[in-house]
Amino acid sequence: MPVKWEKLESNKIKLEIEVPSPEVDSALARAYRKVVPKVSLPGFRKGKIPRRILEARFGPEILHEDALEILVPEAYRQAIGEAGLKPIDEPKIECQPLESGQPLLFEAIVEVMPEVELGPYKGVQVEQVETVVTGEQIESKLEELREQQARLVTVSDGAAAEKGDMVILDFEGFIDGEPFEGGEAENYSLELGSGSFIKGFEEQLEGAVTGEKREVKVNFPDDYPREGLAGKEALFKVTVNEIKRKQLPELDDDFGKEIGEYENLEELKADIRKDLEETAAEQSRQKLEADIIEKVSEASKLELPELLVERRLDDMMNDMAQMLRYQGLSLEKFAELSGKSMEEIREQNRAEAEKRARASVVLQAIAKKEGISVEEAELDQKIEEIAQAYQEKPERIKELFSKQGRLQVIEEEIKLKKTIALLVGEAKVKVVSPPADGDGTEERVTEENRGGEGSPEAEEELPAEK
């Protein structure tokens, strides 16, 4: 099939495609078989009107729309494949008149992945901070566990409320001497020092005793989201019904047994150390990958399509919306509370979206240059993992993803993972000690080459953001 193409501005390509006349005639015949059952004409049974009479009565154009729907998409896909182009948007199509016995000529203008002038991407020099778990970190984790296992115990009469105590309150709020809606509650539990109430409220309850009545004066901030309260001074009449204080368990062998199946406290500490080391190693690995990708991306030259940036922004906004839903908020409500418009929040993320979109394009260019491909066994393994997660049969997942066009997406993910493994494997990594007392970074180990795709790094998952 004859195809000509030329570059236009801004990563756009114009293709001139010629579909041979036999294919045109075949498509017109298929279009006739599709159209004729829908047409009624006196003297003919439905679906039995001869084509020449149908075209004479309604004009040959009656078949053209359906014929073009048959011809153009397939011819366009074939032309894109032959030209080795990777579109990132739907094409704009302009067709010349369709005629029986004649080739079809049409033009397609489409935006494609940009050309990338790759900079150095093998042997990239990066630093990796040595993962060190300190005794202070273990003790901090132990304190977290103690806090989680703490019991709230009612303090004795006359004991004053302190920061960290849970106070049970009745309160009613007034502005200009008048109570306001939503400003009252009974038996409300408030942890002093949590910062969950308006600034100054909790501090004024420190020192109170059970049964005491207090008046608390606060100022609503000027940017307070609720209309009618922003910038106003309020008086709260508060009654302290009860004060509860955390009672932490003793840090001994019994504590280890209560937390899990540990014989003693030392076994618990050893397990905490292991978890902290694994977490630190994973964070270090992800940061190493991110640093390498950033260096390689910055060293490459390309004209980044705005469309890719907008799509990345869409993904980031969707991720933010999902995260907020877990917290019981909508994206719109978050925007309202932050005093920003949805567009302002979107624009705040633009620089990061550009960075991610650029990195993705560069990684794809490296994968193409290195001839990185995905074996059928690799795809099947990923399908197997997805099937296990959803408790489905792999065959069912593969069939479903194939119909949805998602297999290609999974293949791209695997390809990018292998590309990142290649970059990490070829990188020259200098391991350095963590900053001592926040002053500088001390070198500990000389340069270390990462040893290619057979290295442990090649077996890991991709970082969350690419």
pLDDT at residue number 465: 35
N-terminal to C-terminal alpha carbon distance within the chain: 38
* Whether residues 92 and 219 fall in one domain: no
The domain of 48 spans 3-111
Question: What was the pLDDT predicted at 437?
Answer: 56
The CATH number of residue 93's host domain is 3.30.70.1050
Residue by residue, pLDDT tens for the chain (466 residues) are 778 888 888 889 999 999 999 999 999 999 999 999 999 888 888 889 999 999 999 999 999 999 999 999 999 999 998 888 889 999 999 999 999 999 999 999 999 999 999 999 999 999 998 888 999 999 999 999 998 898 999 998 889 999 999 999 999 999 999 999 888 999 999 999 998 888 999 999 999 999 999 999 999 988 787 778 888 999 999 999 999 999 999 999 999 888 888 999 999 999 999 999 999 999 999 999 999 999 999 999 999 999 999 999 999 999 999 999 988 888 988 888 788 889 999 999 999 999 999 999 999 999 999 999 999 999 999 999 999 998 899 999 998 988 888 888 899 999 999 999 999 999 999 998 887 654 444 433 334 454 443 333 333 332 333 3
Domain-located, residue 288:
yes
Q: How far is CA 253 from the centre of its chain?
A: 42
pTM of the shown model: 0.72
49/170 same-domain check = no
Domain total in the chain: 3
The answer to whether the CB of 241 falls within 8 A of the CB of 155 is no
Q: How many CA atoms lie within 13 A of 304 on its CB side?
A: 21
User: What is the predicted pLDDT for the residue at 140?
Assistant: 95
- CATH code (residue 173): 3.10.50.40
- pLDDT at residue 444 in the model: 39
Residue 436's pLDDT is 67
Q: Are residues 322 and 416 in the same domain?
A: yes
Do the domain assignments include residue 201? yes
Answer whether residue 175 is part of any domain: yes
Question: Using CA atoms, how far apart are residues 140 and 66, in angstroms rounded to an integer?
Answer: 70
- Does 97 lie in the same domain as 165? no
Residues 64 and 213 in one domain: no
Tokens of 201: 């409220």
Based on the domain organization, do 194 and 65 belong to the same domain?
Answer: no
Amino acid identity, position 127: E
Assigned domain for 54 exists:
yes
